[in-house]
Amino acid sequence: MTTWSVPRRPCRVFGLLLLMILSFLVLRRLDWHHLLSPWRRRRQLGLHTQGQNFMLEDSTFWILGGSVHYFRVPKAYWRDRLLKMKACGLNTLTTYVPWNLHEPQRGAFDFSGNLDLEAFVLMAAEIGLWVILRPGPYICSEMDLGGLPSWLLQDSGMRLRTTYKGFTEAVDLYFDHLMSRVVPLQYKHGGPIIAVQVENEYGSYNKDPAYMPYVKKALEDRGIVEFLLTSDNKDGLSKGTIDGVLPTINLQSQHELPWLSTFLSSVQGLQPKMVMEYWTGWFDSWGGPHNILDSSDVLKTVSAIIDAGSSINLYMFHGGTNFGFINGAMHFHEYKSDVTSYDYDAVLTEAGDYTAKYTKLRELFGSISGGPLPAPPELLPKTVYDPLTPALYLSLWDALQFLGEPTKSEKPINMENLPINNGSGQSFGYTLYETTIDSSGVLSGLVRDRGQVFVNTVSVGFLDYERKKIAIPLIQGYTVLRILVENRGRVNYGDSIDDQRKGLIGNIYLNNSPLRNFRIYSLDMKKSFFQRLSSSAWSPLPETPVFPAFFLGALSVDLSPSDTFMKLEGWDKGVAFVNGQNLGRYWNIGPQETLYLPGAWLDQGINQVLVFEERMAGPVIQFTDIPHLGTNHYLS
C-alpha cells in the first residue's frame, strides 16, 4: 500500500527557532539574581572584614579554629578527630598541605589514601566546620624541609622560598595541580574553605621582597578567590606583610599578648585581630624532655585572647604522629631532630584522647557559643597485646643482594642527587656507601646526619655533626669500608634550609686522601623496598645477630583491633613497621619510649611486625595501652 507523508521538518525547525527567539526576549528582561537558589545567593561575599570584625556574608563571624593535619592522622580516624573538634565548640579547621608528600617525585602527584586532601576538607564540611587552608608552598610544621620536596636540592644553586627561577617553576607546576583540586572546595563554589594562607612565617626568613607578592599572585591566578591572610611570629610580623592580605600573629605566652593589641594593630590598622597559631604545647627533640604546657595557663591565655576581641586558632588541636620519616629538625647552636610523636601536648593526645585542656576549653567555648555543644564522641579503646618475640632475622649485609644493582660512582653522591626514583633522588631513610681500602688511618668527612662506620661488617663508630673524624683499624687483606648514613630529618625552620642535603656531602677522606669508587645503596624503607626481600632470605633468629638487621615477628589479634603503643625496651635505635605501615623511628636516648600503633592499621588475626635495628635488639617487642613520651618539662 502506498503511504503519504507531509514534509513537516522545515516547519518544525522554524517553530523551534521562533520559540528560542521569544524565550530570549522574555528571559533577558528578568533579574537573573533572583533566579539563583537562595543557597547560591548566600555565598557571594564570603569571609571579609568590616572594621574590627570578620564577617561571613552579612553576619559577624568569630573564627574559633583548631589545627589537625590529615597526613599525621590515619584516614580511618579523621572523622573521630573532627567530631571531637566540633564538640569542643570550634567552628573552623585549619590544615597545612605538605608539598613533599604530595609530589614525592618531580611531576608525580599523590592525593590518595591518607593524603586525600579533598576527602578531608569535604568531611570537615559534612561535620559542620569551615576550613582555613595553608598550602605553602613552605609550611614549616616541624616537617622535613618544612614540607618542601627534597628533589629541589638537586640544583646546587637552589634558593628556596625566593623568586629563583628553579624554585618558582617547580612551585608553578605544583600549584597548577594542587589548586585544580582546591578551587572547587572554596566557599564561593559551595565548599567549606573560607580563607587561604599565603606562605608561612615569611617575615622570619625575608630573603626576597618579590617572593610574597609572587605567591599571592600564583594563588589568585589559579582561581583562589577567598580571603587571604599571612601568619608570623612577633619577630617576623613587621616583615611578613603584603598588600591586600590580612596579617595574623603566632604566639604562646601571656607575656606576648601586648603584641596582639599594639604591634599587630600598628601593622594592619583597623582590621580584625587573629592569633593564627596559639601554641597549645610544643614539639619534642631526641635527647630532650617531653614539653608540657599547663592546662590552666592555656585556659588563661585563650580567655585573654578572646577577651581582647581576637579570633584564634589552636595549634595544635590534635598533633598526631610523624609517621615514617617525615619529622623535621632544628639547627641553631646544635642539630636537633624531632621525635616521631607529634603529640605536642595538644588539646587531644596523639591517640585522640581527651585532656584537661579539652575539658576546660570546651567549657569556655561552650559559654560563648550561644547554644548547646554536641556531645563528645566516646574514646577509642586501647589494648595491651601480648609481647612478641621476633622469629625471623635478616642482616643488612645479607639483604643487599636482593636490592638490585647499587649506584656506582667515582665520588660520593648525596641522597638527593642519586640517579633513582625517576631522576628525583632519595628523600628519606638511609643510604649505604661502600668502597675498598688498603690501609688503616683516620677517616674524615661531612656526614649528614649520622653515619655508622663499618670495616667489613664490624662497627667502629659514628660520624655526625659532633664527631667528624674516626680511627680506622688495620685489617689484613681485602677490606670493605661501609658508611650507613641516616637522614634524621631536614631542618624545617631558619636560614639554613638551602643546605639540607643528606648523605655524604662531598669527599670522604682516609688520611686526608679522598676515597674513590663507591657503591651506593638507597635504603628508603618504602613498601617496594621490602617487597624486594625474598621470603627465602630470612632465617631463624640466631643467638648473636649481626647488626644492622631486620627482625620479623607476628602479632596475633583475636578480637576487633584496638589502638596500642609499641614499646621496644632493650632495643637501641631503628624503625618499626606493622603490616607495611611505617610507625616511625625509635631511639633509646628518649624522651619518647613508645610508638603509637593505630588499631585501624591492624587486622583481626596475624599481623606482620618488622623492625630495622641499627645496633642492639631486645628480647621481645612489648605493647601497652598507655603512651610513654618521656620526662615532663613544663614550659613557662
Instruction: List the catalytic residues.
Output: 201, 277
As a whole number of Å, the CA-based R_g of the chain is: 28
In 3-state terms the chain splits into helix, strand, coil percentages (rounded to 5) of: 25, 30, 45
In 3D, which of 578, 592, 96, 569 has the Cα closest to residue 342?
592
| HEC assignment per residue over 329-365 | EEECCCEEEECCECCCCCCECCCCCECHHHHHHHHHH
CA separation for the pair 552, 608 (Å, rounded): 7
- Nearest 5 degrees, angle CA 209-CA 213-CA 218? 140
3-state secondary structure of 24: helix
Region at 110 (left for phi over 0; alpha for psi -120 to 50; beta for the rest): beta
275 in Cβ contact with 310 (< 8 Å): yes
The runs of H, that is alpha helices, within 206-308 are 211-221, 257-261, 263-268, 295-307
**Cβ atoms 614, 548 nearer than 8 A:** yes
C-alpha cell, 285: 627533640
Q: Give the whole-angstrom CA distance, residue 75 versus residue 118.
A: 12
Identify whether the C-beta of residue 444 lies closer than 8 Å to the C-beta of residue 533.
no
- 517 burial (CB, 10 Å; 0-12 / 13-18 / 19+) is exposed
484/450 Cα distance (integer angstroms) = 8
449 preceded by cis ω (within 30°)? yes
212: number of Cβ within 10 Å:
23
Chain-centroid distance of CA 617 in Å reads: 30
DSSP state of 195: E
Pure H helices in 56-185: 78-87, 99-102, 117-127, 165-182
Decide: helix, strand or coil at residue 122: helix
CB count, 10 Å around CB of 600?
Answer: 16
What is the Cβ-side half-sphere exposure of residue 596, based on CA atoms within 13 angstroms? Answer: 22
Question: What cell numbers appear for 296 in the block?
Answer: 590552666
Contact, 164 vs 158, CB < 8 A?
Answer: yes
